[in-house]
């Protein structure tokens, strides 16, 4: 008999998986008390319905609201909560979550469910075809973008032009918070990642090209979730700065070896994190 | 999100009050909440205090949508009626459980 997704979810919620997960889903979270629980519910229901062992990792980024308390109190058996003592930037939270992940496939997804989890399979299919990195994209044919504000449209177009002009990356949308990696690609990229802020995606994709990883872009549905913490003006300035920084880091050979080796995963800059697991 | 509304016959279980079924589809989030709030307010103003919200085809509800459902429920109950939830989809049911709102609503 085939389980309903509700049955599959309940088993995932109650019983720790016995084998290593096939998939790890990482959600970075900074002051997400208003949005995180529905997102976890949607992701947990859908991923459990796929019938493959999977784990959920919530990588807190030094939240000062009740994000950590809310997530911990869910008591989900296969959810790991990584608590950071200080806010280090989205890039640091994603890196911490990805480097803690155990799945052969690693997805990071934003906490606002702006890219609905139902698109997991579309990205996974490209990974199955042999790609190492698959990027959810709002800027390629077939994407379905809803409620995006004019300022964000202008901002995204500007970033896209910059990225194509300066880095010549084969990706139109570097910033969509829905990206998938093979475990090997995730290790290679996130152990070298140096940018802790918003433009870490750009650095990761730059490194993917540098190391010859196969990268695919998949159109996704995307809904601009209210409550975005993106300050377009501030982020645009950071982005330009980080474009130069990534180039400079590369010229100095800073990506030649791992910057976050396994032995020191919680000791690097801006990453004063403690790890805790939800009670289960 | 789409909202379709159908008026149902008042029966003995509704105590003679007018009853209504609101069927929602798609994603019910902060963008759609004002539309839902207006529909509920209009129904109550017209004397309908028993509202069943059908959630079979709703894929996701965010916190703002949950707050609107609670608001509607309170407004109906204050007038002697209720706002109940009907056949929530699996993800919506899980979200209701995780937020513990499953205990607050009548769910059919």
Distance from CA of B103 to the nearest CA of A (A): 16
| Per-residue pLDDT, B87 | 96
A69 and chain B: CB distance < 8 Å anywhere? Answer: no
User: Which of A5, A6, A38 has the CB atom closest to B95's CB atom?
Assistant: A38
Least confident residue range of A259-263, A267-271, B54-58: A267-271
CATH architecture of A5-257: Alpha-Beta Complex (3.90)
With a pLDDT cut of 90, the percent of chain A lying above it is 68
In this predicted model, which residue has the larger pLDDT, A172 or A82? Answer: A82
Average pLDDT of the residues of chain A: 88
All residues of chain A having their beta carbon less than 8 Å from the beta carbon of residue B61 are 38
Q: Which residue of A has its CA nearest to B61?
A: A38
Q: Which residue of A has its CA nearest to B58?
A: A42
Distance from CA of A220 to the nearest CA of B (A): 15
| Per-residue pLDDT, B83 | 97
CATH architecture of B22-103: 2-Layer Sandwich (3.30)
In this prediction, residue A88 has a pLDDT band, given cuts at 50, 70 and 90, of: very high
In this prediction, residue A140 has a pLDDT band, given cuts at 50, 70 and 90, of: confident
Strand boundaries in chain A, DSSP class E: 23-29, 54-60, 79-84, 105-109, 133-137, 144-146, 178-182, 215-219, 221-223, 273-277
What ipTM, to 2 d.p.? 0.91
Distance from CA of A279 to the nearest CA of B (A): 15
Cβ–Cβ below 8 Å for B31 and A37: no
Interface of B with A (CB under 8 A): 27, 29-31, 59-64, 66, 90-91, 93-95, 97-99
In this prediction, residue A148 has a pLDDT band, given cuts at 50, 70 and 90, of: low
Contact A88, A266 (CB under 8 A): no
Distance from CA of B18 to the nearest CA of A (A): 32
| Per-residue pLDDT, B57 | 95
A223 and chain B: CB distance < 8 Å anywhere? Answer: yes
Domain ranges of chain A: 5-257
Domain ranges of chain B: 22-103
User: Which of B27, B66, B91 has the CB atom closest to A223's CB atom?
Assistant: B27
| Per-residue pLDDT, A243 | 87
pLDDT at A8 over 60: yes
| Per-residue pLDDT, A245 | 92
Cβ–Cβ below 8 Å for B31 and A35: no
Please list, residue by residue across B16-35, b when 16 or more beta carbons sit within 10 angstroms of its beta carbon and e when fewer do: ebbbbbbbbeebbbbbbbee
Considering the entire predicted model, what is its pTM?
Answer: 0.89
Distance from CA of A10 to the nearest CA of B (A): 9
| Per-residue pLDDT, A275 | 38
Cβ–Cβ below 8 Å for A42 and B66: no
Q: Roughly what angle, to the nearest 10 degrees, separates helices B90-98 and A5-14? A: 30
| Per-residue pLDDT, B15 | 57
Contact A90, A109 (CB under 8 A): no
All residues of chain B having their beta carbon less than 8 Å from the beta carbon of residue A27 are none
Cβ–Cβ below 8 Å for B95 and A41: yes
In this prediction, residue A274 has a pLDDT band, given cuts at 50, 70 and 90, of: very low
């Amino acid at each position: 008999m085939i389980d309903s997704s509700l049955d599959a979810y309940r088993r995932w919620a109650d019983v720790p998986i016995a084998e290593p997960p096939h998939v790890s889903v990482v959600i970075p979270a900074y002051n997400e008390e208003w949005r995180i629980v529905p997102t976890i519910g949607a992701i947990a229901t859908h991923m459990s319905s796929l019938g493959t062992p999977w784990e959920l990792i919530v990588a807190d980024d030094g939240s000062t609201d009740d994000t950590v308390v809310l997530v911990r109190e869910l008591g989900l058996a296969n959810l790991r909560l990584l608590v950071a003592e200080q806010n280090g930037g989205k890039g640091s939270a994603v890196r911490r979550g990805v480097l803690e992940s155990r799945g052969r496939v690693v997805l990071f997804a934003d906490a606002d469910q702006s890219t609905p989890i139902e698109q997991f399979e579309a990205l996974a299919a490209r990974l199955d075809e042999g790609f190492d990195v698959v990027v959810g994209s709002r800027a390629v044919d077939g994407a379905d973008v809803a409620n995006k504000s004019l300022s964000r449209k202008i901002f995204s177009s500007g970033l896209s032009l910059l990225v194509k002009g300066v880095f010549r990356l084969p990706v139109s949308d570097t910033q969509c918070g829905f990206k998938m990696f093979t475990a090997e690609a995730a290790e290679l990229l996130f152990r070298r990642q140096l940018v802790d802020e918003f433009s870490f995606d750009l650095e990761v994709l730059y490194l993917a090209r540098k190391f010859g990883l196969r990268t695919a872009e998949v159109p996704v549905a995307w809904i601009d979730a209210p409550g975005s913490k993106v300050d377009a003006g501030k982020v645009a300035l950071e982005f330009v700065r980080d474009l130069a920084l990534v180039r400079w880091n590369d010229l100095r050979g800073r990506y030649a070896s791992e910057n976050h080796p396994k032995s020191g995963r919680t000791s690097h800059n801006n990453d004063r994190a403690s790890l805790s697991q939800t009670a289960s | 999100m789409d909202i379709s509304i159908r008026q149902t016959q008042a029966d003995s279980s509704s105590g003679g009050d007018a009853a209504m079924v609101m069927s929602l589809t798609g994603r019910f989030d902060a963008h759609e909440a004002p539309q839902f709030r207006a529909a509920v307010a209009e129904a109550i103003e017209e004397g309908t205090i028993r509202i069943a919200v059908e959630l079979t085809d709703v894929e996701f509800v965010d916190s703002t949508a949950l707050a609107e459902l609670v608001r509607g429920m309170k407004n109906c109950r204050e007038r002697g009626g209720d706002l109940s939830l009907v056949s929530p989809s699996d993800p919506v049911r899980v979200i209701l459980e995780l937020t513990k709102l499953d205990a607050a609503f009548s769910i059919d």
